[in-house]
Amino acid sequence: MTNTSTRLLFPVHFWEGGPNWNYLSFRMLVAYAITHNRSIVMIPFHNHFVKGFTKGYRPFEETFDINRLRKIVPVVTPEFYKEVCGASIDFLVQFPISKMRKAMRKENRKRYERTRGDFKKLWDIHLPDTKRKRRNFTETERQMMKADEIRCLGIYGPRQIPNFLTEKEKAVFKHIDRYFRLSENIRSMGATVKSLLCGGKPYIAIHWRNRTGEMVEYHSIDCKTEEQCLHNLAMLSNASQVIAEAVGQFMKNLGIDCVYVAIPPRRQEFVERLRNIVRHVYTAHFITSRDNAELRRLEDDNYVLSLVEQEVCQGAEVFLRCGVSNWSEFVQIGRESLGKEVAYLRDIPNIPEEIYEFI
């Protein structure tokens, strides 16, 4: 078999979701690289879509501890890839799109073309033109079977490819998650915040994501009509008091009176109501208002602030995650690798069933 350093895997995913979608996609490809004896190319990640979204990318090393990751898989730069493979990728797969709705196919082609443009701009690497190809599940499976024949392999959208990983490949996740850690700088800032939070006492963390509000604000395709979204938003607003009371009782039963709430940068009634019930409620404002220049700068850097919040959630006694969220999933994976508890916010007692899908 060809030496690992010359069998490369280039992750081809930039715009299929937010940063956490891409972190989780990269994690999948680490599993693939390990089990198929490949080096993986580190890629940058784009900024968040909220709070003054700025176009551009953040270096891989700013997000993850590359030295730690290299203990389990060879990690190389795009420049190294070009030295070995030239300015093109022996492209293996894109997820099947032939059975998608027309609007979804159009959106996915748009995202891929945007990725093609960025590969050209960032590294002068050429991705193939797939506009006239109508991939189906059978073709994708056939391509996956031929993957080991390809030296300079590119995989696009692994999380959207059915059965992308085998059970053998999934089995390495527990090993990977011990080494797939946030960067040393992020962990250091997280440690600083945790030392200041709650006077050093135990705390719980909640990821509160008002998905209905996001649907209205970003005109999500998951929302059938704006009227429906506004109705659901009002329902969730009315339920905020009940949810806050349920969280308060949950914390009382644990004997903890301090909570960190990770929220998108928009007004949240839930937090306002929770402050009337729980003695100590902290949000990102606590981080950016400290007498610490490094933390204060995060007010204008939502990308790093979000990572620091995830590190804070890692350190909580209990993490109550959002039902559908890559942000929550990424925190959960990290906590489970450390043997820490994770629960769904909707699963604590007295949460109304009609709002499960929104929290």
The answer, yes or no, to whether residue 98 has pLDDT greater than 70, is no
pTM given for the model: 0.89
* Side chain identity, residue 183: S
Buried b (16+ CB within 10 A) or exposed e, 178-217: ebbbbbebbbebbebbbebbbeeeebbbbbbbbbbbbbbe
- Residue 300 has a CB neighbour count (10 Å cut-off) of 12
pLDDT in tens, 287-318: 999 999 999 999 989 999 999 999 999 999 99
Alpha-carbon distance of 356 to 212, in angstroms, equals 12
Query: Out of 188-192, 211-215, 258-262, which region has the weakest mean confidence (pLDDT)?
Result: 211-215
In the chain, % of residues over pLDDT 90: 56
Cβ distance 56 to 44 under 8 Å? no
Cβ distance 248 to 260 under 8 Å? no
pLDDT in tens, 17-37: 889 999 999 999 999 999 999
pLDDT at 211: 55
Distances (CA, A) of 246 to 47, 183, 267: 34, 35, 20
Alpha-carbon distance of 260 to 331, in angstroms, equals 14
Buried b (16+ CB within 10 A) or exposed e, 107-126: ebeebbeebbebbeeebebe
pLDDT in tens, 124-177: 999 888 765 655 666 667 777 788 888 999 998 888 777 788 898 899 999 999
Q: How far does Cα 254 stand from its chain's mean position?
A: 29
Which of 87-91, 128-132, 215-219 holds the top average pLDDT? Answer: 87-91
- Fold matches, 4-177 and 184-358: yes
Domain 4-177 falls in which CATH fold? Rossmann fold (3.40.50)
Q: Where are the alpha helices (DSSP H) in the chain?
A: 19-35, 60-63, 66-69, 78-85, 102-123, 137-145, 167-170, 173-177, 184-196, 211-218, 226-254, 269-274, 284-288, 293-296, 302-314, 326-337
pLDDT at 221: 41
Cβ distance 58 to 29 under 8 Å? no
Alpha-carbon distance of 152 to 132, in angstroms, equals 23
Domain 184-358 falls in which CATH fold? Rossmann fold (3.40.50)
pLDDT at 251: 96
Phi-psi region of 270 (alpha: psi -120 to 50; beta: other; left: phi over 0): alpha
Please work out, in degrees rounded to the nearest 5, the angle formed at the alpha carbon of residue 200 by the alpha carbons of 195 and 202. Answer: 120
Alpha-carbon distance of 55 to 61, in angstroms, equals 19
Cβ distance 8 to 84 under 8 Å? yes
The answer, yes or no, to whether residue 78 has pLDDT greater than 70, is yes
The residue-averaged pLDDT of 41-56 equals 75
The answer, yes or no, to whether residue 218 has pLDDT greater than 50, is no
The residue-averaged pLDDT of 272-287 equals 94
Q: Which two tokens stand for residue 150?
A: 């390809």
> Domain residue spans in the chain?
4-177, 184-358
